[in-house]
């Protein structure tokens, strides 16, 4: 189970479905179901009531509240989060008491209708409008502002219906439960942090001028002893995808252009020693060299199989067994040859104060992407290790079809080195 993307959430809203939106773990640490008020139906309102407190609110811009003559609920707001409740309302033409799913869906529809007037609703009622602050989630990172921003981005009237999701015992449901609920009912789950980062990318403001750095947020840091040495591990979260990445740092990073390896996650190569790629040996070699010379290994999670995921990676392997190369196998699955995005890596480097790097890679596309993201790659340092009969063709394909810089002599030398290493007796064998 993982977070959805903002575009996936916007498409669900356009279809009239709710999306589940979690806020920051240091704020309320709760999730709300958010639905388009314009597209609200009795069926989805009933779903929201079943999974929530039943206290349905309707976030809307200040000018909409003014047009409908919806004053604040109280003259002095004492709510700790500054939630701007107005007087409660029902649609003036409600069919019953106003509490039914049908009546509440209709009230939301009326609130989202640009033609509605103050006489279109009666006060009090069973829906509580919420006045969103100008500036949206980048001004106040609450569900109220998230709902209005999401509707606007989806091209819908800027009025939502929201309600806090609760567990069966009545307590607020936290992120693991929200992800499970979203998967069970086929609904997107996103975070307000993702939404802020998305807005920074598609609608940059002066406040977002720091660029890539805002893409990630530092969540944890610790010293970790490893078989390669002791490193400083920094855990970052991608504010758009929700993926966690690691920066493994050696030294004080005082060099003008430190050595940096941006390494893509590879479960098969790193955990299981797969010989179909050179990922495991590349990671080991990168850690060894930065332990000795100082630098950074940025470990990019979510990059399995050049970004197509573990299952599709194994499907591509199956096609390679039938004669396709690594590029054509991806294309045969309807997937790009390389789906990786290095924006989070650029953000991590920015957060670490590193603007110029010597990049440890054979991949010219990685160099080009990082340069487009504002990283000054002053040198591309080759990393040719772990070559063997099982992956020689794979490396040749990356060289010939994907622009990787792998000299024929270097490939042959690496192949010979691997063969010699495999032929040499181990320390244990020498001791026998």
Instruction: Kindly list the structural domains of the chain, giving each domain's residue range(s) and its CATH number in brackets, ordered by start.
Output: 6-206 (3.90.870.10), 211-303+343-431 (3.40.50.10990), 306-339 (no CATH)
305 annotated as a binding-site residue: yes
Residue 430 has pLDDT above 60, yes or no: no
**Which residues touch 148 (CB under 8 Å, ≥6 apart)?**
59, 60, 61, 132, 136, 158, 159, 160
- pLDDT digit string (tens) for 384-402? 998 889 988 888 999 999 9
What per-residue confidence (pLDDT) applies to 364?
93
User: Token digits for 424?
Assistant: 């040499």
263 belongs to an annotated ligand binding site: yes
Residue 366 assigned ligand-binding role: yes
**What is the spatial distance between Cα 92 and Cα 122, in angstroms, rounded to a whole number?**
5
d(CA 62, CA 59): 9
Q: Kindly provide the residue ranges of all beta strands, DSSP E only, lying in 167-322, ordered along the sequence.
A: 189-191, 216-226, 229-238, 244-250, 259-264, 295-300
- Is 191 annotated as ligand-binding? no
Per DSSP, the three-state class of 376 is strand
User: Residue 142 annotated as binding?
Assistant: yes
57 in a labelled binding site: no
Annotated binding-site residue? 264: yes
Give the per-residue pLDDT at 67: 95
User: Annotated catalytic sites, by residue?
Assistant: 338, 340
Q: What pLDDT score does 130 carry?
A: 97
Select the more confidently predicted residue: 239 or 133. Answer: 133
Q: Count other Cβ atoms within 10 Å, centred on residue 398.
A: 24
Q: Maximum distance among all alpha carbons in the chain?
A: 94
Average pLDDT estimate for 113-141: 95
pLDDT band at 25 (very low <50, low <70, confident <90, very high): low
In the prediction, which pLDDT does 424 show? 62
* Omega before residue 124 within 30° of 0, cis: yes
Q: What is the mean pLDDT of residues 36-45?
A: 98
- The dihedral through the CA atoms of 47, 50, 53, 54 has a sign that is positive
The pLDDT of 278-290, averaged and rounded, is 96
> CB within 8 A of 89, min separation 6: which ones?
68, 70, 107, 111, 121, 122, 123, 124, 125, 127, 128, 129
Listed residue (122, 189, 115, 129) closest to 157, CA to CA: 115
Q: Do 59 and 172 contact (CB within 8 A), yes or no?
A: no
Q: Is residue 143 part of an annotated ligand binding site?
A: yes
Residue 316 CA, distance from chain mean position: 25
CA–CA–CA angle 283, 285, 286 (5° rounding): 65
> Is 8 annotated as contributing to ligand binding?
no
Q: Residue 58 pLDDT more than 70?
A: yes
Average pLDDT over the chain reads 91
Predicted local distance difference test score (pLDDT) of residue 24: 72
More confident residue, 92 or 407: 92
Q: So what's the pLDDT on residue 240? A: 78
CB-CB contact of 104 with 56 (8 Å)? yes
- pLDDT given for residue 200 in this prediction: 86
- Say whether pLDDT at 411 is over 80: no
Q: What is the pLDDT of residue 107?
A: 98
Contact assessment for residue 121 and residue 107, using Cβ atoms and an 8 Å cutoff? yes
Question: Among 110-114, 223-227, 323-327, 414-418, where is mean pLDDT lowest?
Answer: 414-418
**Helical H runs in 170-278?**
175-185, 192-202, 267-270
CB 193 within 8 A of CB 239: yes
Three-class HEC string of 196-210: HHHHHHHCCCHHHCC
The pLDDT of residue 416:
74
Q: What is the pLDDT of residues 145-198, one digit of tens each?
A: 999 999 999 999 999 999 999 999 999 999 999 999 999 999 999 999 999 989
Mean pLDDT of 316-328: 95
Six token digits for residue 429: 């064998």
User: How many CB atoms neighbour CB 280 within 10 A?
Assistant: 19
Collapsed DSSP state (helix, strand, coil) of residue 71 = coil
Q: Determine the number of helices (DSSP H) and then strands (DSSP E) in the chain.
A: 17, 14
Q: What pLDDT score was predicted for residue 2?
A: 85
Looking at the chain, the whole-number percentage of residues with pLDDT higher than 90 is: 77
- Confirm whether pTM is higher than 0.85: no
DSSP 92-157: TT-SSSS-SHHHHHHHHHHHT-TT--GGGEEEEEEEEEEEPPTTGGGT--SHHHHHHHHHHHTTS-
| 270 marked ligand binding residue | no
The answer to the question of whether 304 is labelled as a binding residue is yes
Which pLDDT value is given to residue 209? Answer: 46
> Does residue 21 have a pLDDT over 60?
yes
**CA–CA separation, 299 and 283 (whole Å):** 9
């Amino acid at each position: 189970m993982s977070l959805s993307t903002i575009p996936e959430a916007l498409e669900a809203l356009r279809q009239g479905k709710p999306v589940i939106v979690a806020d920051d773990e240091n704020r309320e640490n709760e999730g709300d179901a958010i639905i388009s008020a314009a597209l609200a139906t009795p069926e989805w309102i009933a779903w929201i009531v079943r999974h929530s407190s039943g206290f349905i609110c309707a976030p809307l811009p200040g000018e909409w509240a003014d047009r409908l003559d919806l004053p604040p609920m109280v003259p002095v707001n004492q709510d700790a989060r500054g939630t701007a409740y107005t007087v409660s309302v029902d649609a003036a033409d409600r069919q019953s008491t106003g509490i039914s799913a049908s009546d509440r869906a209709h009230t939301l529809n009326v609130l989202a209708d640009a033609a509605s007037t103050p006489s279109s609703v009666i006060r009090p009622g069973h829906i509580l409008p919420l006045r969103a602050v100008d500036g949206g989630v980048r001004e106040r990172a609450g569900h109220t502002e998230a709902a209005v921003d999401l509707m606007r981005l989806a091209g819908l009237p800027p009025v939502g219906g929201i309600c806090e999701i609760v567990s069966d015992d009545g307590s607020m449901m936290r992120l693991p439960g929200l992800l499970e609920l979203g998967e069970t009912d086929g609904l997107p789950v996103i975070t307000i942090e993702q939404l802020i980062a998305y807005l920074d990318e598609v609608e940059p403001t002066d406040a977002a001028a720091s660029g890539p750095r805002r893409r990630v947020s530092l969540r944890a840091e610790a010293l970790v002893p490893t078989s390669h040495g002791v490193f400083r591990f920094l855990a970052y979260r991608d504010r758009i995808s929700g993926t966690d990445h690691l920066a493994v740092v050696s030294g004080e990073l005082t060099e003008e252009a430190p050595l940096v390896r941006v390494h893509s996650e590879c479960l098969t190569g790193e955990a299981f020693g797969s010989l179909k790629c050179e990922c495991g040996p590349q990671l080991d070699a990168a850690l060894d060299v930065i332990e000795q010379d100082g630098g950074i290994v940025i470990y990019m999670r979510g990059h399995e199989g050049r970004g197509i995921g573990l299952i599709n990676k194994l499907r591509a392997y199956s096609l390679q067994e039938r004669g396709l190369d690594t590029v054509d196998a991806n294309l045969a699955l309807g997937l790009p040859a390389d789906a990786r995005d290095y924006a989070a890596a650029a953000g991590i480097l920015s957060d670490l104060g590193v603007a110029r790097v010597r990049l440890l890679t054979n991949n010219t596309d990685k160099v080009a992407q990082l340069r487009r993201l504002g990283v000054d790659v002053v040198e591309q340092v080759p990393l040719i290790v772990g070559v063997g009969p099982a992956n020689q063709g794979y490396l040749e394909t990356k060289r010939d079809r994907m622009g990787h810089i792998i000299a024929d002599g270097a490939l042959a030398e690496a192949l010979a080195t691997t063969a010699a290493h495999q032929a040499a007796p181990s320390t244990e064998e020498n001791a026998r």
